[in-house]
Amino acid sequence: MYHTITEDAIVDLVDRFCGKIRNDHVLGPIFAQAIGADWKPHLAKMNAFWSSVLLASGTYKGNPMVAHLQLPRLTQHHFERWLYLWHETAAGLCSDNVASLFVRKAQMIGERLLHAISNYHESSEATGAAREAI
């Protein structure tokens, strides 16, 4: 049980969470399509991401927005499932306070990602429709 956010807590949480995602009927196929069978690079990115967000480690160099815009269009349903599994994993591993820090941060980031995804796909659909109308 983790009572503070540490690198060890993040590695453990990300590892268990990704194990669930991998076998999940909703999210698993999207990941399989995007990253194939080798989860090691994804785990490393997620660890770096969370330690940069919550421990200010500065180890994450990617762009989550771009990564998610390049996937087949993700919906609220995907995000709810993602957050449900994240919550379930954090609650099983961490004290209530620490679990709620992990969950609240993920909810905030998830909202921003979903908002950007909706805008992006709606504006590209609008551009497509305008092009067809010409």
In the complex, which residues of this chain contact ligand HEM (CB under 6 A)?
A: 27, 30-31, 34-35, 42, 45-46, 49, 62, 64, 67-68, 71, 74, 78-79, 82, 106, 109-110, 113
Q: How far is the CB of 9 from ligand HEM (least distance, A)?
A: 16
DSSP code at position 25: T
Which residue, 75 or 127, has its beta carbon nearer to ligand HEM?
A: 75
Q: How far is the CB of 125 from ligand HEM (least distance, A)?
A: 20
- Rounded to whole angstroms, how far apart are CA atoms 13 and 18? 8
Please check whether residue 82 is in contact with residue 68, taking contact to mean a CB–CB distance below 8 angstroms: no
- Least Cβ distance, residue 75 to ligand HEM (angstroms): 9
- Measured from the CB atom, is 91 or 131 closer to ligand HEM? 91
Smallest CA-to-CA distance from 69 within 127, 30, 120, 122 is with 120
Looking at beta carbons only, is 71 or 126 nearer to ligand HEM? 71
Q: Comparing C-alpha atoms, which of 70, 69, 50, 68 is closest to residue 58?
A: 50
As measured in angstroms, the least distance from the Cβ of 130 to ligand HEM is 29
Q: Which of 20, 93, 8 is nearest to 50 (CA)?
A: 8
